[in-house]
């Protein structure tokens, strides 16, 4: 996590900085609010600002927002009274940290505000297979497209890829293409020159330059306007960008990871997404299964969230009861991991007694998890067990598993034989022979979609 400290490094503030560094934060320092804005404008990015409460926090946040820079702020200070702390919160700070600091408080604030504590947790065979594929390609320079329903953990997978890449010591920058209006996204990505438009009071470095040397995540790229997609394609092909209002191309060295919860091949056929951009992004496709498709992950994730939110709320860690585990596994989780996380956060707060029981696990509307989504009877448990075993492919021969892996990989690559062969680590000739063999058996073979693989064979 990148931490920008704003204020004079007195003894107590310096101690807080050392504690943050001990928890993995990369720290930079300036003394004044205007220096902080200027540093962020130049592309010296930060995930969190730690600001001395005597600095005008409201003015700092306003200056950042005028430059379309949104970084959370925590205030801190020595001898600050309750009124001072309350004033910083009213000014826009997310938290107030009294100094001298406590190590546990620093760690909790960094985790809560920056939300970096999101490890990739898996126990289900279907998810482990995807992680295995991610491990194969993580150290490559290939662009990767991560697909799956909302809430399955696409950004967590993107961070996992970065952390296991050769760029792990460089920045990981994320841009949510769906959260930024079309008329602002170009400047956010590519930056702008002074005077490029009303309000452009100085040169602003965009996310491409901020990520130079590292990884740029284009989250929900399917929501990007088609006109901007053309400029993005040029940036990916030539590794140069043009700032808005600029005349000199700027070279960048980045790896691109993109995510989408939409079918991009269908978006291409509908004319809302460029086929050539999809080809450029989809060198490797990682499809994350929904939580319904990986029931083995549910107990492991539930246990992790219980520990996380028990620590965050200062309550004891209670184990999840056997009945609650069955209820969790039986629920459909249409919101996937995100929905499960929220449910376990509520359960930590509502649980009574030595265990987290079914009654403590509530849906967003406050209704208990029991009912239509859960039947603890023998027939329901048998169906759940059979479903989990089927997904784990228990009982298949090696040849059957090989066939499943080849066809699934080909499907992930939208029928592109060359990409599938590269991922599988076999020659294109071997792949074609296998596909001919499966076709002769009457097995449908995924065809190249929308002409994407025509140019590469």
- Terminal-residue alpha carbon distance, the chain: 42
What number is the average pLDDT over the span 164-183? 89
Does pLDDT of 26 surpass 90? no
Buried b (16+ CB within 10 A) or exposed e, 74-113: bbbbeebeeeebebbeebbbebbbbbebeeeebbbbbbeb
Burial (CB count <10 Å: 0-12, 13-18, 19+), residue 7: buried
Does pLDDT of 166 surpass 70? yes
Q: CA torsion sign, 360 to 362 to 365 to 369?
A: negative
What number is the average pLDDT over the span 433-441? 87
Does pLDDT of 409 surpass 70? yes
What is the DSSP code string of 200-250? --S-B--HHHHTTTSEEEEETGGGS-HHHHHHHHHHHHHSEE--BT--S-E
Does pLDDT of 90 surpass 50? yes
| DSSP bridge partners of 147 | 260, 287
For 193-224, write each residue's pLDDT tens digit: 887 776 667 778 889 998 999 999 999 999 99
Spatial distance between the Cα atoms of 171 and 212, rounded to a whole number of angstroms: 7
What number is the average pLDDT over the span 22-46? 84
In this predicted structure, what is the pLDDT of residue 370? 63
Does pLDDT of 456 surpass 60? no
What number is the average pLDDT over the span 86-106? 83
For 264-291, write each residue's pLDDT tens digit: 999 999 999 999 999 999 999 999 999 9
State what percent of residues in the chain have pLDDT above 90: 43
- To the nearest 10°, the Cα dihedral for 243, 248, 253, 256? 40
Range from 71-75, 114-118, 247-251 carrying the lowest mean pLDDT: 114-118
Position 295 confidence tier, pLDDT thresholds 50, 70, 90: very high
Q: Is 248 left (phi over 0), alpha (psi -120 to 50) or beta?
A: beta
pLDDT, greater one: 390 or 76: 76
Q: Which residues touch 235 (CB under 8 Å, ≥6 apart)?
A: 190, 208, 241, 252
Q: What mean pLDDT is reported for the chain?
A: 84
CA–CA distances in Å: residue 221 to residues 186, 273, 353: 13, 9, 46
Range from 43-52, 353-362, 392-401, 433-442 carrying the lowest mean pLDDT: 392-401
State what percent of residues in the chain have pLDDT above 70: 89
What is the bridge-based pairing of β-strands 250-251 and 240-241?
Answer: antiparallel
As given in the structure block, the two tokens for residue 307 are: 């520990």
In this predicted structure, what is the pLDDT of residue 145? 96
Q: Strand order in 48-52's β-sheet?
A: 26-30, 2-6, 48-52, 73-78, 95-99
- Is the pTM of the predicted complex or chain greater than 0.85? no
pLDDT, greater one: 312 or 392: 312
Does pLDDT of 259 surpass 80? yes
Does pLDDT of 457 surpass 70? no
Range from 63-77, 243-257, 315-329 carrying the lowest mean pLDDT: 63-77
What are the structural domains, with CATH classification, of the chain?
2-114 (3.40.50.2300), 125-289 (3.40.50.300), 292-381 (1.10.8.60), 398-440 (1.10.10)
Q: Is 372 left (phi over 0), alpha (psi -120 to 50) or beta?
A: alpha
What is the DSSP code string of 441-455? TT---PPPSTTTTTT
3-class DSSP state of 11:
helix
In this predicted structure, what is the pLDDT of residue 198? 67
DSSP state of 360: G
In this predicted structure, what is the pLDDT of residue 347? 94
Position 113 confidence tier, pLDDT thresholds 50, 70, 90: low
pLDDT, greater one: 230 or 46: 230
What is the DSSP code string of 42-77? TT---SEEEEETTS-HHHHHHHHHHTT----EEEEE
């Amino acid at each position: 996590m990148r931490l920008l400290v704003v204020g004079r490094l007195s003894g107590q503030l310096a101690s807080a900085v050392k504690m943050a560094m001990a928890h993995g934060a990369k720290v930079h320092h300036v003394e004044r609010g205007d220096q902080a804005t200027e540093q962020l404008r130049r592309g010296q990015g930060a995930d969190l600002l730690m600001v001395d409460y005597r600095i005008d926090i409201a003015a700092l946040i306003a200056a950042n927002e005028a430059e379309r820079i949104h970084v959370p702020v925590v205030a801190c200070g020595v001898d600050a009274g309750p009124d001072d702390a309350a004033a910083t919160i009213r000014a826009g700070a997310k938290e107030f940290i009294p100094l001298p600091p406590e190590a546990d408080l620093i760690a909790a604030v960094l985790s809560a505000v920056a939300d970096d504590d999101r490890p990739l947790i898996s126990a289900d065979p279907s998810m482990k297979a995807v992680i295995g594929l991610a491990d194969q390609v993580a150290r490559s320079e290939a662009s990767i497209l991560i697909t799956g329903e909302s809430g399955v953990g696409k950004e967590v997978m993107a961070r996992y890829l970065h952390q296991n890449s050769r760029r792990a010591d460089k920045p990981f920058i994320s841009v949510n293409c769906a959260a930024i209006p079309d008329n602002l996204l170009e400047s956010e990505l590519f930056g702008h020159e002074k005077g490029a438009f009303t309000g452009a009071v100085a040169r602003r470095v965009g996310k491409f330059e901020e990520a130079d040397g590292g990884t740029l995540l284009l989250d929900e790229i399917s929501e990007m306007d088609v006109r901007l997609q053309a400029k993005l394609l040029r940036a990916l092909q030539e590794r140069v960008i043009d700032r808005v209002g600029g005349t000199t191309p700027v070279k960048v060295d980045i790896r691109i990871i993109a995510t989408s919860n939409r079918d991009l091949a269908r978006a291409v056929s509908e004319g809302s997404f460029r086929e050539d951009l999809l080809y450029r992004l989809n060198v490797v496709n990682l499809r994350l299964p929904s939580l319904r498709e990986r029931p083995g992950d549910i107990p492991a994730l539930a246990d992790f969230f219980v520990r996380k939110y028990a620590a965050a709320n200062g309550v004891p860690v209670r184990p999840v009861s056997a009945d609650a585990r069955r209820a969790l596994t039986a629920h459909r989780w249409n919101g996937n991991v995100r929905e499960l996380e929220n449910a376990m956060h509520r359960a930590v707060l509502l649980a009574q007694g030595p265990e987290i029981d079914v009654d403590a696990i509530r849906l967003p509307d406050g209704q208990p998890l029991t009912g239509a989504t859960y039947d603890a009877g023998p027939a329901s448990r048998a169906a759940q067990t059979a479903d989990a075993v089927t997904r784990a492919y228990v009982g298949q021969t090696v040849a059957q598993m090989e066939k499943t892996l080849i066809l699934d990989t080909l499907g992930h690559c939208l029928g592109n034989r060359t990409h599938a062969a590269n991922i599988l680590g076999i020659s294109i000739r071997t792949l074609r022979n296998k596909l001919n063999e499966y076709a002769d058996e009457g097995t449908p073979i995924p065809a190249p979609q929308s002409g994407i693989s025509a140019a590469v064979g």
